[in-house]
Structure 1
Amino acid sequence: MTAIQLLACAGMIVGVFLLLEMKPVEFTDSLFGFLLNPKRSLREDIRESSGRKKSGILRRELKEAQNILQMTGRGNRFSFICAVALALFCAGGSIAILLGNFFLAPVMAVGFLFLPFWYVKLTANHYKRDVSAELETALSVITTAYLRTEDIVTAVEENTAYLNPPVSRVFQDFLIQIKMVNPDVQAALRILRGRIDNEVFREWCDAVSDCQHDRSLKTTLPPIVSKLSDMRNVNAELEYMIAEPRKEFMIMVVFVVGNIPLMYLLNQDWYDVLMHTVLGQCILAATAAAIFISAGFVVKLTRPIEYRR
């Protein structure tokens, strides 16, 4: 009966969308756009910008996911991610209702809502590691060529063929800027500085810009590039350190969730108490909340270390 009611509710929602001639993506854009930019007083804006008031956790996750997608060149997928999050929100609540556990419904709905945004964070971590590794190679070969030629344009031209995306595209645009738009190397370096979100890269661009006035400063470039190697080594050690706790967390989640069907096979009475009594349903809801909160911290703590000046 509950499944039939859920299907009827889903059909009614689909009917409303058809009657209003509204696409699901348009609805999610409006909904999450309101969550990102709610109407607030000037006092609240000032308090938030000054750091005296933190925005809500959902709003922070939305903003972070949006910034990550824009940084990785996938900004047009934000609407799709929001639509998937809303669909998972409905799916999580529906699963809990089908299980007959109304205490679990809000926990499952909210937990499933955050899954796409956590996935975006994890992909961003891999993206940053890949960019940092490619950036280390690019800056190393370009710096070596610059120490020899003392001409940054020539150094970049000699090595763009050996670079890989997305770093290669950034330096190709740098050459196009100088050759076809504006020959001012300083202006091109300022534009180049903002193309990659990496503090070591910004410091390298600033140092190259200073070298345009005093070429004796070129000796400062190799130590800057070596910072990327140091960060790679630190991140490798960090990844090794957190790999085991992360694996243990995933195993524990499998054990906790797997105990429910196992309990059904071992002791039917215990299973009935867990699934069909108020106390058992509250325990399941608390367990699910603990799993989702722990997963959020795991995603947060598995970010790569970045250099900060």
Structure 2
Amino acid sequence: MTMIQLLACVGMITGFFFLLHLRPVEFTDDLFSFLLRKPKTLKEEINEATRRKKPGILKKEITEAQDILVMTGRGSRFSLVCAVSLALFAAGGSFAIMIGNFFLAPVMACGFLFVPFWYVRLTANYYKKNVSAELETALSIITTAYLRNEDILTAVEENLHYLNPPVQNVFRDFVTQVKMVNPDVEAALKVLRGRIENDVFEEWCDALSDCQLDRSLKTTLTPIVNKMSDMRIVNAELEFLVTEPRKEFITMVFLVSGNIPLMYFLNRSWYETLMFTPVGQIMLAVTAALIFISTALVIRLTKPLEYRR
């Protein structure tokens, strides 16, 4: 009976979308835009500026995910992430209703709602690592060419085809700006400095700007590039140390979750008590809530450290 009611609810919602000529992506965009709306009153703006009133958990996760997507050049995928989040929200609640545990429904719905935003947070670390690796290669070959010809525009043009996106796009825009928009190299270097969020890259751009005034300072570029190689090695070691607790947590989650179907084969009465009695259903809801809360804490506390010196 519950399954029939759930299917009827899904059909009714689908019918509303067809009648109102709404697309799921448009609906999620409007919904999450409402959650991210800016303060309307002066008091709310002051509280937000002075951080007296902290944003809610959902709003904070959505804002951070949106910032990460924009920073990594995937801002257009924010609508897709919101749509997947809303779909998982419905799927989590529907699964709990299908197994007859109404205590678990809000926990599963809210927990699965955050899964896409947690995934975005995890992928940001790998994106930064890949950009740093490509940036190390780019700075090395461009610096070598600049030490030879003392012309940064020529050095970038000579090696542009050796670079890979997204670093290639950044340096291509630099060449286009100098050749087509504004021949001021120092102004173009300032714009280039803000295109990639990396401390060594920003230091390299600053040193390159100084070289436009004094060519003898070009010897400072090579140590800066070598610093990036040293940082990559140290960051890899730190990431390995931080990844171990995360792997142990994932193992424990699989063990806890796997005990439920395993109990069906080991002791049928315990399984029925856990699945079909109010006390057992409340225990399952509490366990699921603890898993989701722990996942959020693990993602925040075990993010890879970054060596910056």
Q: How does the TM-score come out when normalised to structure 2?
A: 0.94
8 Å Cα contact 2:243-2:302 kept in structure 1: no
Q: Write the mapping of 1:1-309 to structure 2, written as runs, cut at 5 A.
A: 1-306=1-306
% identical aligned pairs: 70
Q: Give the CA deviation at 1:299.
A: 2.5
Unaligned runs of 5+ in 1: none
TM-superposition CA deviations, 1:86-114 (whole Å, max 9, x none): 01001001111112112211111011011
Give the number of aligned pairs.
309
Q: Give the CA deviation at 1:53.
A: 2.9
8 Å Cα contact 1:200-1:307 kept in structure 2: no
* Cα distance, 1:26–1:130 mapped onto 2, change above 3 Å: same
When the two chains are superposed, the root-mean-square deviation of aligned CA atoms in Å is: 1.8
1: distance between equivalents of 2:169 and 2:68?
19
Mean CA deviation greater in 39-48 or 1-10: 39-48
User: Which consecutive aligned stretches of 4+ in structure 1 deviate over 6 angstroms post-superposition?
Assistant: none
* Cα distance, 1:223–1:180 mapped onto 2, change above 3 Å: same
* Cα distance, 1:279–1:227 mapped onto 2, change above 3 Å: farther
8 Å Cα contact 1:231-1:305 kept in structure 2: no
1: distance between equivalents of 2:208 and 2:301?
34
Q: Give the CA deviation at 1:141.
A: 1.8
Q: Give the CA deviation at 1:193.
A: 1.2
1: distance between equivalents of 2:36 and 2:276?
39
Q: Secondary structure at the match of 2:165?
A: coil
8 Å Cα contact 1:199-1:307 kept in structure 2: no
TM-superposition CA deviations, 1:165-205 (whole Å, max 9, x none): 11112111111111122111011111111211222212211
* Cα distance, 1:38–1:152 mapped onto 2, change above 3 Å: closer
* Cα distance, 1:286–1:76 mapped onto 2, change above 3 Å: same
Unaligned runs of 5+ in 2: none
Mean CA deviation greater in 105-114 or 153-162: 153-162
1: distance between equivalents of 2:291 and 2:235?
26
Name the amino acid aligned to 1:80: L
Q: How does the TM-score come out when normalised to structure 1?
A: 0.94
Q: Secondary structure at the match of 1:54?
A: coil
8 Å Cα contact 1:129-1:304 kept in structure 2: no
TM-superposition CA deviations, 1:27-62 (whole Å, max 9, x none): 111100011115443222222223333211211111
2: distance between equivalents of 1:41 and 1:288?
38
TM-superposition CA deviations, 1:106-135 (whole Å, max 9, x none): 111011011111111222211110000110
